[in-house]
Chain A
Amino acid sequence: MEKNIALELKNITKTFGSVVANKNISLQVKKGEILSILGENGSGKTTLMNMVSGIYYPDSGQIFADGKEIVIASPKDAFDHKIGMIHQHFKLVDVFSAAENIVLGLEDEKGFDMAAYIERIKEITEQYGFELDPYKKIYEMSVSEKQTVEIIKVLFRGADILILDEPTAVLTPQETLKLFAVLRNMRESGKAIIIITHKLHEVLSLSDYVAVLRKGEYIGTVKTSETNESQLTEMMVGKKISLNIERSPVETCTDRLVVNNINCVNREGIKLLDNVSFTARSGEILGIAGIAGSGQRELLEAIAGLQHLDGGSIIYHNPKTGEEENLRDKTPLEIRQMGVKLAFVPEDRLGMGLVGNMDIVDNMMLRSYKKGKSAFLQRKNPKSLADEIIERLEVVTPSAYTPVRRLSGGNVQKILVGREIASSPTVLMAAYPVRGLDINSSYTIYNLLNEQKQKGVAVIFVGEDLDVLVELCDRIMVIGSGRVTGIVDGRNTTKEEIGILMTKSAEDMMQDEGGHEE
């Protein structure tokens, strides 16, 4: 069966500075087969595939296509060997139509014949069961349609080996099912498909083989039909784990932050937040679940004073004075001057929460540098805070004067969370605080959140892993397309219930739109 192998990697290694992203990885995919590459965030899945698609170049190792060794030094080389990758972030020209995007950059010696191209695009869509209007402009498209354009773009160029990076991260469950159907059709017609994912159920329902990576190392490949969820989890995380996040009972519980009917509209007039109301209470963790990009970021930024709102109110109950204050449309500085102790761990750690090029000490100062009347900086307290965080949270760093961009993701996050907690907040908001972190660092973060909860802080936790949300949070609010679709008790709910709520909004939205047209 040697000749059936479409793509084979042998002993691929890639390092970034001192970080080993991929270490001696070997795997293969045959024609007419779907291979999943499974691994946690940061396990090196994307890096590996970027080497196959010509974005990175391996330090060592070999790549074979159709049994021949090949050198892939640019995306063009990858295309020449019929390898196409669909990235997580789409690379499309908004004002062009689907067809224009698909043929963009095509070198056709016969001349440019749009009508013929559209014919071929239609053939491809029919062959594999896509739904696409080639004349539709990208800016009018949903995320799933954009993804379709990206896939057809690759097929149009004759790719026989398709790589999809986290294709379902941005899709609703229905869209995911459609995508899987299309992928199965492609498999039937003999394409080799690699999908990168960290979602177990997708792996099990779709793929023929699963290759597992852990911390840049290749753990093994198993046949999907001969494996199960717990075996894969074990391969992924190293040892069998049940999450078992400690959840202490809620003791004192008073309203801390009451959000009332807030709305937020972006420049294109799309509602990012649609009548969102909820209450965050002291001494409990409020989880926020939802598909990525459903308004989570806007919601937290609105509370932090970074997002303009078009209506509603955000009432803060000051535990010291007992007064009620509206935080809506205040700047972060005004909020702090009002005596509201708000800590915010944003999703974008190095772009927003920290300054990558500054050292740990200078990053500690971000919140506190203004204190005191002197015109000059005082680096003594920030230095001792830095030392304290490094010691207490076991941050791995050469020194407190190392630029934070040089630290690993987990250590960066510890620095950020550590600093935010140091201000002894009354409200703590954290957006995806464990994204990209290893298990140990994740638990450090969970423990810190729990610790804050016990201190009576109102914790708001935006997460993506439903298992974690269910185990960690006291209440879980689910949002979809900027709307609250439900608030459930974390102790009595299930993943499935939350999953249904996450998807409910999408269906509602569709019905709503249908209703408008009539």
Chain B
Amino acid sequence: MKKLKNLYWSVLSGSAAHIIKRDDIVWWKAWGIRIISVLLALIVCGFVTVSLTDLNPIEMYITMAQGAMGTPRLVWNLFQNTAILLGVALAVTPAFKMKFWNIGAEGQILIGGLATATCMIFLGEKIPAPLLIPVMLVVSIISGALWAFVPAYFKTRFNSNETLFTLMMNYVAIQIVAYFTLEWSMPKGSGTPRTLEFGQLPVLFGQKYLINILIVVVLTVLVYIYLKYSKQGYEISVVGESEKTARYIGINVKKVVLRTMAISGALCGIVGFLLVAGTDHSLKSDTAGGRGFTAIMVSWLAKFNPIFMVLTSLLIVFLESGASKISEVYRLNSSFSDIITGIIIFFIIGCEFFINYKIKFNKKEEIVC
């Protein structure tokens, strides 16, 4: 018993091997580790597939790829979903970079969407589309910003916990939107969301989603420039890295927190606007669809770099749509595709450990028992 305990300790605490933080890693090594981890993930998924089902894993991967981009329509869907997820990731990034844990993007999107829908319903017939759409945009930006401003205000004023606060604000937003969905449903009270006729975003070159994608491309560039080259972006970095330093050089930390959260919420509001006016042409309480949370992973995986986020959001959306295709084609329970997605994401996140640390095996295998 004592021996076993000792062995447990030595393994756990690393007598046999120990972990060292890497100082620096050359970029090709880091990408090598990432590629190896994706390959490993695919192999592990293959084993899981074979042991749980009677599918051929290679065939399954092909189905997956087809499900994500087998037809032009699917490719457009893929891009559209990537754009929306990327938009949310862009929105949460300034807050997260400031170490303000904004997990309320979901609610901020919904409120932005609600504002858009309100304009479409009540102003739709009164003002022409070229005027209506900018109004919708502005109103959604303001409402998203306000929704995010509230937890920031309480944080700076009373030092409340922003994680809980933003999370709770999600439920409030969901309930408000659920109420209006029912209120506006056609026929009234049926719960079927009304299709919003007026103020839909224009179809460019025959592609419904193109305008959404273009807007997010512009946002990506803007957020990248804002974070890297603007004075405000610099302030965000300093506050995020060390509040003490920020105060030492005279940055008004409270002001930066309020401003950054308002920006974060405003970007979420824009995504809400795109979803309601561009994608769905309706408003439901699940319009945001959990993207507010997935986006955190996207942003984090890309280390808060908007350009890398294009890749990470594409990866996540690809996996999700591919996995759902597997369930559909092979008539498997949807949990199976969740398992596959989970394994792949686990490996991708897990490999960051090997990029930041290396494991050194002790030459001496002697363990004192």
* A residues neighboring B (CB under 8 Å): 17-18, 54, 57, 59-60, 68-71, 73-74, 76-77, 304-306, 331-333, 335-336, 344, 346, 348, 351-358, 362, 365-367, 369-370, 374-377, 406
Contacts and interface: CB of A to CB of B under 8 A. Distances in A.
Contacts of A74: 9, 13
Interface of B: 9-10, 13-15, 18, 21-24, 229-234, 237-238, 241-242, 244-245, 247-252, 360, 363-364, 366-368
Contacts of A18: 23
B229 A377 contact: yes
Interface-central residue, A73, A333, A335, by most chain B CB under 10 Å: A73
A358 B241 contact: yes
B15 A306 contact: no
A355 B234 CA distance: 11
B248 A346 contact: yes
Contacts of B364: 71
A376 B250 contact: no
B245 A370 contact: no
Contact of A356 (B231, B241, B360): B241
Interface-central residue, B21, B233, B234, B249, by most chain A CB under 10 Å: B249
Contacts of A353: 245, 248
A69 B362 CA distance: 15
A356 B241 CA distance: 8
A70 B368 CA distance: 7
A77 B13 contact: yes
Contacts of A374: 231
A351 B18 contact: no
A375 B231 contact: yes
B18 A332 contact: no
A491 to B, nearest CB: 34
Interface-central residue, A54, A74, A362, by most chain B CB under 10 Å: A74
Give the top 5 A-B pairs by smallest Cβ distance, nearest first. A17-B23, A333-B250, A332-B250, A74-B13, A73-B15
Contacts of A376: 229-231
Contacts of A71: 10, 15, 364, 366-368
A369 B244 contact: no
A344 B245 CA distance: 12
B40 to A, nearest CB: 27
Contacts of A57: 14, 18
A366 B18 contact: no
A60 B360 CA distance: 11
Contacts of B242: 351-352, 355-356
A332 B232 contact: no
7 contacts: A71-B367, A73-B9, A73-B14, A77-B13, A332-B250, A351-B245, A377-B229
Contacts of A348: 244
Given A353-B245, A366-B238, 10 more contacts: A70-B368, A73-B9, A76-B13, A335-B250, A344-B248, A352-B245, A358-B241, A369-B234, A375-B230, A376-B229
A304 B244 CA distance: 13
Nearest to A56: B18
Contact of B231 (A351, A367, A377): A377
Given A351-B244, A358-B241, A77 B249 contact: no
Interface-central residue, B247, B252, B363, B366, by most chain A CB under 10 Å: B247
A353 B248 CA distance: 7
A365 B241 contact: no
Nearest to B367: A71
A370 B248 contact: no
A352 B248 contact: yes
A18 B363 CA distance: 21
Nearest to B233: A377
Contacts of B238: 355, 358, 366
A352 B247 CA distance: 8
Nearest to B360: A59
A264 to B, nearest CB: 17
A48 B250 CA distance: 39
A377 B236 CA distance: 13
B248 A375 contact: no
Given A18-B23, A77-B13, A355 B245 contact: yes
